Structure 1
Amino acid sequence: MNGEEALLHADTGVTSGKFAERSLNEIRFWSRIMKEHSLFLRLGFRAEDTLLINEANQFYRLFENIEQTSRSFTEQSDPEQIRRFNTEVQQAAANIFGFKRKVLGLILTCKLPGANNFPLLVDHTSREANYFRKRLGELNEGKLKPLPEAIIKENVFFLRIMADHAKFIGHLLDPSERKLVDIARNFSNDFDQLMYQARDLESMKPQSQTVPLLDQFLDQNRVSVSSLRDFKKTARDLIEQCKIKSIIHPLLADHVFREADRFLEIIDMFDAHLTSHSPQSSQ
């Protein structure tokens, strides 16, 4: 089997030594994200939406507790304990996914007039909850996608997330911040194109799952994600220093920065796997 064939058959399944580490990494990152989603949704509800506000507060506390509990485990923890914890968190992710879809339905049927949650933002947060839920299920089952398929699917998911972020930033900046609005709009267009390109690659699989194509795919995405991450960091710092006009919560600015940083980590991880399975590395 040559290096490219090895890549096409490489399994990203989790060994027992990595199971706790990967599970806790996912839970610590995404439970914080889910907690913050609860806060952002709550801030977007109207004062009279007391039931929805209370439900959002309950989810905030739930994921705050999950985040704290995850700190009590280590990479050396009993895998069976981690598996049970994953199942518990997976159910919490499924529940907040259901809450977000309920809110989206209320917005789209005009039952929350005057509220401040964009439908796309609610849909965006529900996609992340579903991603989190599925990730924990894959870890517990030890059934992750083969490497080439994982590279394409993860990039399709995160490129859309990045495109959404650029759109939200553009809409939440004050219209008088014309230059920054233009920059956000350009990022939105860039990531829309990258997402469509990734979906084209996905539709061409398995023939498209070659080392050279995937390597170029990751390199191209890394350049754009790095630029967007740097823009988000600048925007976050300016918002914290009250140097630009917007209705962006400082925590939201940091939230989208962390997700871009996460995407870059995933790209680097995939790139390292590609390198280790390339024909050159096997010689």
Structure 2
Amino acid sequence: MADMFVSRSLEEIRFWSRIMKEHALFLSLGFSYTDKQLIEEAQHFIALFERIEEQLSQYSNNSDPQQIRAFNTHVCQAATAIWAYKRKVLGLTLQCKIRSNNFPLLVDHISREAAYFANRLQDLNEGKLKPLPEAIIKENVFFLRIMADHAKFIGHLLDPSERKLVDQAREFSHDFDQLLFQAVDLDSMRPQSETVPMLDQFLDQNRVSVASLRDFKKAARDLIEACKIKSNIHPLLADHTFREAERFLHIIDQFEASLTAKS
């Protein structure tokens, strides 16, 4: 169990610290040149998560669990701090106190991911390693909403002349909205729905849709990097959303393995 705690902790930090660093970069790129303080704060978070990535290299799966627990606490504080920064940016945006190229939904989206990261580290430090059926459904609700948001952002950031790709992004947005509503319905049906067959079907359906979106993101990323698509999508943002879809698929695999072990 101690080995699982260490490996899971390092895995979460490795993935999400990079995501947090990139969020800060994307925010900084979207601000107006007059928003100097907000840009400086974003740069502070880029440096903060770069230091965390450097510290991460000092640990391995054989590290002392007590050291990892302390590291989790440190990183959780950083995730909580960037969450507060993102919520401040969202508030300023909604009050029209700043004008930027960062959609309010995008800022809300990345703040939800920071909260998720902080909560994951807290759960690990509390010994919550194996997911319960309730946690499986709630985690899928979280990630399905993330995937739906990604499709919306892609659709809005593509040049309007990219009609076929815009239509595909809208279709993915609609499909993931429906999957999200379905997951919310399943969540409200508990405990009657807490059976392995129903959760298996739920995860299988999600995997097919996420894999399809992942492939779309990969194709779009490759075309953006080759300058074959007209858009306002930064190549790193395209890769960023691709990696998050890959992460969701990895989590679905972990959940299915956990259900198989219980059956």
Normalising TM by the smaller chain, what interval? over 0.9
How much does 1:198 deviate? 0.2
Query: Which secondary structure state, in structure 2, belongs to the residue aligned with residue 247 of structure 1?
Result: coil
TM-score (normalised: structure 1): 0.92
**What is the letter of the counterpart of residue 231 of structure 1?**
F
Equivalences for 1:71-86 in 2 at 5 Å? Answer: 71-86=57-72
Residue deviations 1:29-56 (CA, integer Å, cap 9, x gap): 0000000000000001000100000000
- 1:38 corresponds to 2:21: no
- 1:124 corresponds to 2:124: no
Whole-angstrom CA distance in 2 between matches of 1:262 and 1:146: 16
Equivalences for 1:198-277 in 2 at 5 Å? Answer: 198-277=183-262
How much does 1:145 deviate? 6.8
Count residues in correspondence: 263
Larger radius of gyration: 1
What is residue 184 of structure 1 aligned with on the other side?
Answer: 169
How much does 1:150 deviate? 1.8
Equivalences for 1:134-149 in 2 at 5 Å? Answer: 134-144=119-129, 146-149=131-134
Residue deviations 1:182-217 (CA, integer Å, cap 9, x gap): 000000000000000000000011111111110100
Whole-angstrom CA distance in 1 between matches of 2:217 and 2:16: 19
In structure 1, list runs of 5 or more residues that go unmatched. Answer: 1-14, 279-283
Conserved 8 A contact 2:149-2:173: yes
How much does 1:146 deviate? 4.4
Conserved 8 A contact 2:141-2:183: yes
Equivalences for 1:81-92 in 2 at 5 Å? Answer: 81-92=67-78
Whole-angstrom CA distance in 2 between matches of 1:83 and 1:211: 32
Query: Which secondary structure state, in structure 2, belongs to the residue aligned with residue 206 of structure 1?
Result: coil
Q: Give the one of 166, 175, 179 matched to 2:151.
A: 166
What fraction of aligned residue pairs are identical, expressed as a percent? 73
Residue deviations 1:33-80 (CA, integer Å, cap 9, x gap): 000000000001000100000000000000011012111100111111
**What is the letter of the counterpart of residue 254 of structure 2?**
M
How much does 1:143 deviate? 2.9
**What is the letter of the counterpart of residue 191 of structure 1?**
F
Query: Which secondary structure state, in structure 2, belongs to the residue aligned with residue 166 of structure 1?
Result: helix
- 1:16 corresponds to 2:22: no
More RCO (CA 8 Å, sep 6+)? 1
Whole-angstrom CA distance in 2 between matches of 1:230 and 1:139: 31
**What is the letter of the counterpart of residue 28 of structure 2?**
R
**What is the letter of the counterpart of residue 260 of structure 1?**
A
Q: Give the one of 60, 68, 88 matched to 2:54.
A: 68
Conserved 8 A contact 2:179-2:206: yes
- 1:196 corresponds to 2:196: no
Residue deviations 1:219-271 (CA, integer Å, cap 9, x gap): 10000000000000000000000001000000000000000000000001111
Query: Once superposed, what is the RMSD of the aligned Cα atoms?
Result: 0.9
Whole-angstrom CA distance in 2 between matches of 1:74 and 1:146: 24
